[in-house]
Chain A
Amino acid sequence: MVAPARHRLRVLPICLAATFIMAFGPSYGEDASVAGLSDYRVKAAYLYYFTTFVDWPPETFSRSGDALVIGILGEDPFGGILDETLRGKTVNNRRFIVKRFGSIKEARESHILFISSSERDRLPYILKMLEGATVLTVGEIESFASRGGEIGFRVEDKKVRFDINVAAVERARLKISAQLMKLGRIVEGSERQGG
């Protein structure tokens, strides 16, 4: 198509060279400095608390060497916050492993699966693929729980709250403590309904 003006061609190697040079320069931005309270720090903390209120069948831990696997499906909105929150923590002597999944099949192996908003339009498909898996699905897509997810976050008056779809939790063969049920809002809905 376009025949670029001849002198322009020199700019291309410079652009690429600059990218490479900067790539191997000092890296920065790794410091965990004092944060403003983003909703993802709160959501990460919730994911931790959920593990203390939910019972998974014992056999689910044999697949992960006794660790609790928290997965993220789709674009990771936490940007490292979840890893930081769970670093060095244990629940019932189980350590945490945070995994990012590209495929739903692999994601079935997690204990908690956070389904990112990037998956909004294929949520029904994802939930269908997760049928029969002992996974606590958590999301922040609107009406997540009434669309068949198990726990859905919502922000209300700047506070992060959550909905629980009890039927979906039961289908996943998980047990949620009565205390958590009291804190969340119970919603109904099945995987087949949409909106």
Chain B
Amino acid sequence: MTLLATLAGAGVPCRGQDPAADLTTLGIEAVMNMEVTSVSKKPEKLMDATAAIYVLTSEDIRRSGATSLPELLRLVPGVQVARVNSNTWAVGVRGFTSTLSRSLLVLIDGRSVYSPLFAGVYWDVQDTPLNDIDRIEVIRGPGATLWGANAVNGVINIITKSAGVTQGTYASIRAGNEERSVATARFGGKTPGGVAYRTYAKFSDRDAEFHQNGDDFDGWHMSRAGFRADADRGEHDHLTLQGDAYDGRAGQRTVVSSYTAPYSETVEEQAGLSGGNLLGQWKHTFHEGSDTTLQLYYDRTHRRQPGFTDDRDTFDLDFRHHLRLGSRHELLWGAGYRLTSGDTESVPTIQFIPANRTDDVLSAFVQDEIRLVPSKWTLTVGSKFEHNDYSGFNYQPNARLLFSPTPKQAFWSAVSGALRVPSRLESDLALTALLDPTTPTFIRVLGTKDFEPERLVAYELGYRVQATDRLFLDLALFDNSYNDLLSLEPGVPFTETSPPPSHTIIPLFLRNRMTADVHGGELAYEWRPIPSWRLAGSYSYLKMNLVAAEDSLDTTTAPGTEGSSPRHMANLRSSLDLPRGFGLDVALRYVGRLPSQSIEAYTEMDVSISRRLTRGLELSLSGQNLLSPHHAEFGGGSAGLVEVERGVYGRLVGRW
């Protein structure tokens, strides 16, 4: 024990300080000079959650060495992240993984980035500067009551820092073989009137991944800039205004069919991606136990891909009121309106009918958190009510029960209903692809106007324990029952004479003739064997069983979906603080095989070494996917298989 050193040498890092010591007997000066090893309040806050939630803190983000949002999500238990190519990702929670995971809702500061056109999230334009992120909250399982439709298998909430905590100048530059260059600069200040603000700019240039045939089509380049301002106005009001604009290119390869010979060609093109958003939020406190949040945003996206262009404008208004009723009820209710308008332009074989469409969604929710026995039993009940232009009115209820026998452990269980509502894809799509050039014969995937929402009833059970001050365990089990899942139903083939030459079409209608039972669980732990060493890890198990209805002719969706999510996943990450300002982070991950994507199980490792050079200057060296020169994580569809390469980069961060 070297308490003497602590007492004697102000500023001397004191690795040997006795963690069990009674700090109130040492004197305040000694306490002032003690190094703390954790500035996270994760376990305490998580204890009361009645959902399988995992929080990545800004410290996790800083130490991870990850350079993109999907890479960060690799650290979260139960989240499958597969890099399809340099700019395309397949992210899934509790199954149903695809490049556009349709049952996963992603929000950035309350702004939905779920595309209502193709039903899913385009990760290539979600390139928020990682250093501005305060935390990422990932909820596995339904979050529909609070977040609304499409929060079926999970919700990812990305929350950026308040402008008040990003004061001063920050600059980061990264250079390497895969992450060729990523540069971020940020400046934060405060106006005399007390408005805190920041502005940022970020440029990234990422190399193509590994291609057996050497055809490196998938480079990824993004430029973005944005701002955020936060201000208190009087005692009752807090205002936030923020916005981003981006422009980028992502190399894509697609097979595009046409009705004239040679009927099909492989197109390689730089997709043009641009957009922006502006969000305002007003929080008002009426009195103790009553506060409201009003949020309005506008979001614009432009996406020009081979054979297809989409321009979309979205307005969203959201109101929430939190009200304490007596000593036992915490009532939360709200209402929202979203207007989304999209214009598509495309080649004849990829069509949305009509090409342009404007839709709105009206929603309301109410939830009551009832303290049955204060600080022991809490019951939460609530429901979302929504009306959309595709499937009309729906409601999505849930009931959650929390039991906290001691402040350090909690049991919870939940039953919830959630819907994945139809997107334009299921309603309006007519996608034609060549089957046989000799006849010629095409298949045509056709949306149907009466496509129903996909329905989930989820049963969940969880247990959390701060077993000792150094060990935290979190277990979640689930049984998900799905009805009316998407299926592809062949219709009667017919001949089409226009456009000439005449050709045969085999129609495939999008219907709801699939059910599924998915069950599994995730065990996550966090262990600090010594104060300067943190180990966090998880194991996830998933069993999917999709069954086509008796009147279904679909034989491919079930094995295709089941085989795209791994049965077993595990990860382990170690964060070690070393003397002289060094930090060493190692992350290992195992992902089971994906039979329908022809992907074998793999284990990969990322290593990051950082060193604080002076106050405000940090240098780090990171290696990603170090265990093999290249490995495949997901099938590439018509673009062919692309393998993720080993990457090494260096990074310099300055703050002043």
Interface of A with B (CB < 8 Å)? 1-5, 8, 11-12, 15-16, 18-19, 22-23, 27-42, 44-46, 48-49, 53, 75-80, 85-86, 89, 102-105, 117, 120-125, 127-129, 142-143, 147, 155, 157-161, 180, 183, 191-195
Given contacts A19-B412, A124-B235, contact A36 B35 (CB under 8 A): no
How many Å lie between the Cα of A33 and that of B457 in the bound state? 41
In whole angstroms, how far apart are the Cα atoms of A78 and B409 in the complex? Answer: 15
On whether the beta carbons of A2 and B24 are closer than 8 Å, the reply is no
| B254 interfacial by beta-carbon distance below 8 Å | no
Q: Does any Cβ of A come within 8 Å of B556's Cβ?
A: no
Contact A37 B19 (CB under 8 A): yes
The answer, yes or no, to whether B405 is at the interface (CB within 8 Å) is yes
C-alpha spacing A104/B285, complex, angstroms:
13
Contacts of B162 in A (CB 8 A): 120, 142
Q: Nearest 5 CB-CB pairs, A to B?
A: A194-B232, A29-B408, A45-B23, A128-B235, A35-B469
B232 contacts across to A, CB distance below 8 A: 123-124, 147, 193-195
- Determine whether the beta carbon of B413 is less than 8 Å from that of A16: yes
Check: B297 CB closer than 8 A to any chain A CB. no
Contacts of A2 in B (CB 8 A): 417, 419, 455-457, 483
B515 within 8 A of A: yes
Q: Which residues of B does A touch, CB under 8 Å? A: 13, 17, 19-20, 22-24, 26, 28-29, 31-39, 41, 43-45, 47, 162-165, 190, 194-196, 230-236, 238, 283, 285, 288-289, 291, 324, 327, 394-397, 401, 403, 405-409, 411-413, 415, 417, 419, 455-457, 459-461, 463, 465-470, 479, 481, 483, 515, 528, 530-531, 615
Contact A79-B195, Cβ < 8 Å, known A8-B459, A195-B232: no
Are the CB atoms of A1 and B397 closer together than 8 Å?
A: yes
**Residues of B contacting A37 in the complex (Cβ-Cβ under 8 angstroms):** 17, 19, 34-38, 531
B406 A29 Cβ-Cβ under 8 A: yes
Q: Which residue of A1, A3, A34, A45 contacts B469 across the interface (Cβ within 8 Å)?
A: A34
Q: How many A-B residue pairs have CB under 8 A?
A: 213
Q: Which one of B163, B466, B469, B481 contacts A8 once the chains associate, using CB atoms below 8 Å?
A: B481
Interface centre among B288, B401, B412 (most CB of A within 10 A): B288
Known contacts A12-B415, A79-B408; is A42 also within 8 Å of B467 by CB?
no
Minimum C-beta distance from B598 to chain A (A)? 32
Task: Please name all residues of chain B whose beta carbon is closer than 8 Å to the beta carbon of A117 when the two chains form the complex.
Answer: 41
18 intermolecular pairs with C-beta atoms under 8 Å apart: A12-B459, A15-B460, A22-B463, A23-B403, A28-B409, A29-B467, A34-B19, A36-B38, A37-B37, A38-B36, A41-B19, A41-B23, A45-B31, A48-B24, A49-B28, A117-B41, A142-B164, A195-B230
- Among B196, B395, B405, B515, point to the contact of A23 (Cβ < 8 A): B405
Q: Whole-angstrom distance between the alpha carbons of A85 and B22 in the complex?
A: 7
Contact B408 A30 (CB under 8 A): yes
Residue among A2, A105, A123, A128 having the largest count of chain B Cβ atoms under 10 Å: A2
Per the bound structure, the CA–CA distance linking A44 and B23 in Å amounts to 9
Give Cα A158 to B235, complex, Å.
Answer: 32
Once the chains bind, are B407 and A80 in contact (CB under 8 Å)? Answer: yes
Once the chains are docked, how many angstroms separate the CA of A22 from the CA of B462? 10
Evaluate contact between A35 and B470: CB separation under 8 angstroms: yes
Q: Assess A35 versus B19: contact at CB under 8 Å? Given A2-B455, A30-B408, A45-B24.
A: yes
Hey, which chain A residues are within 8 Å of B41, CB to CB? 40, 77, 117
Contact check, B459 vs A27: say whether CB atoms are below 8 A apart: no
Using Cβ atoms and an 8 Å threshold, which residues of chain A touch B481?
A: 4-5, 8
Contact assessment for A11 and B479 in the assembled complex, using a CB-CB cutoff below 8 Å? yes
Q: Which chain B positions have C-beta within 8 A of A124? A: 232, 234-236, 238
8 Å CB contact of B36 from A27, A42, A103: A42
Rounded to whole Å, the gap between the CB of A128 and the closest CB of chain B is 4
Q: How many angstroms from the CA of A151 to the CA of B34 in the assembled complex?
A: 19
Q: Which residues on the B side are within 8 Å of A34 (C-beta)?
A: 19-20, 469-470
User: What residues of B have a CB within 8 angstroms of the CB of A11 in the complex?
Assistant: 459, 479
Contact B411 A19 (CB under 8 A): yes
CB < 8 Å neighbour of A158 from B28, B35, B231, B515 = B35
Do A103 and B289 touch across chains, with their CB atoms under 8 A apart? yes
In the complex formed, the residue of B with least CB distance to A31 is B468
Q: Are B405 and A27 in contact, CB atoms less than 8 angstroms apart?
A: yes
Give chain A residues whose Cβ lies under 8 Å from the Cβ of B233: 194
Could you say which residues of chain B place their CB within 8 Å of the CB of A38? 36-38, 469
> Is the beta-carbon distance between A19 and B403 smaller than 8 angstroms?
yes
* Nearest CB of B to A151, in Å: 12
On whether the beta carbons of A183 and B29 are closer than 8 Å, the reply is: yes
Complex CA distance for A192 and B234, rounded to whole angstroms: 6
Q: A53 to nearest B CB, angstroms?
A: 8
With A and B bound together, what is the CA distance between A28 and B190 in angstroms? 48
A residues in contact with B528, CB < 8 Å: 36
Query: What is the CA–CA distance of A23 and B289 in the complex, to the nearest angstrom?
Result: 30
Chain B proximity of A90: nearest CB distance (Å): 11
Q: Does B234 lie within 8 Å of A16, measured CB to CB?
A: no
- Closest CB in chain B relative to A22 CB, distance in Å: 5
Q: How far is the CA of A40 from the CA of B235 in the complex (A)?
A: 28
Whether the Cβ atoms of A27 and B456 lie closer than 8 Å is no
Are B32 and A183 neighbours in the complex by a CB distance under 8 Å?
yes
Chain B, residue nearest A131 (CB): B235
Set of chain B residues within 8 Å of A1, measured between Cβ atoms: 394-397, 417, 419, 455
B515 to chain A: closest residue by CB: A5
Cβ contact of B466, chosen from A29, A103, A183, cutoff 8 A: A29
Q: Which residue of the partner chain, among B234, B288, B483, contacts A104 with CB atoms under 8 Å? A: B288
Q: Are A39 and B38 in contact (CB under 8 A)?
A: yes
Inter-chain contacts of B33 with A (CB < 8 A): 159
In the complex with contacts A16-B413, A195-B231, A142-B165 CB distance below 8 A: yes
Given contact pairs A102-B324, A195-B230, A35 touches B20 in the complex (Cβ within 8 A): yes
Report A123 CB to chain B, min CB distance, Å.
Answer: 8
A104 to B39 Cα, complex, angstroms: 27
Q: 13 additional contacts, CB 8 Å, given A37-B35, A49-B31, A120-B162?
A: A1-B396, A16-B401, A34-B469, A37-B36, A37-B38, A38-B37, A38-B469, A45-B23, A79-B43, A80-B407, A125-B236, A159-B32, A194-B232
Q: Which residues of B contact A89 (CB under 8 A)?
A: 24
Q: CB distance A194 to B194 under 8 Å? A: yes
Contact B288 A15 (CB under 8 A): no
B34 CB contacts on chain A under 8 angstroms: 37, 42, 159-160
Check A19–B195 contact: CB distance below 8 A: no
Q: How far is the CA of A30 from the CA of B461 in the complex (A)?
A: 22
Given contacts A8-B459, A48-B24, A143-B164, contact A36 B412 (CB under 8 A): no
Measured CB to CB, the nearest residue on chain B to A105 is B288
Nearest-neighbour CB distance to chain B for A136, whole angstroms, equals: 15
* Choice from B23, B163, B419 contacting A42 with Cβ under 8 Å: B23
- Is A4 touching B457 in the complex (CB atoms < 8 A)? yes
Point out the residues of chain A lying under 8 angstroms from B38, CB to CB.
36-39
Q: CB-nearest residue of chain B relative to A40?
A: B41
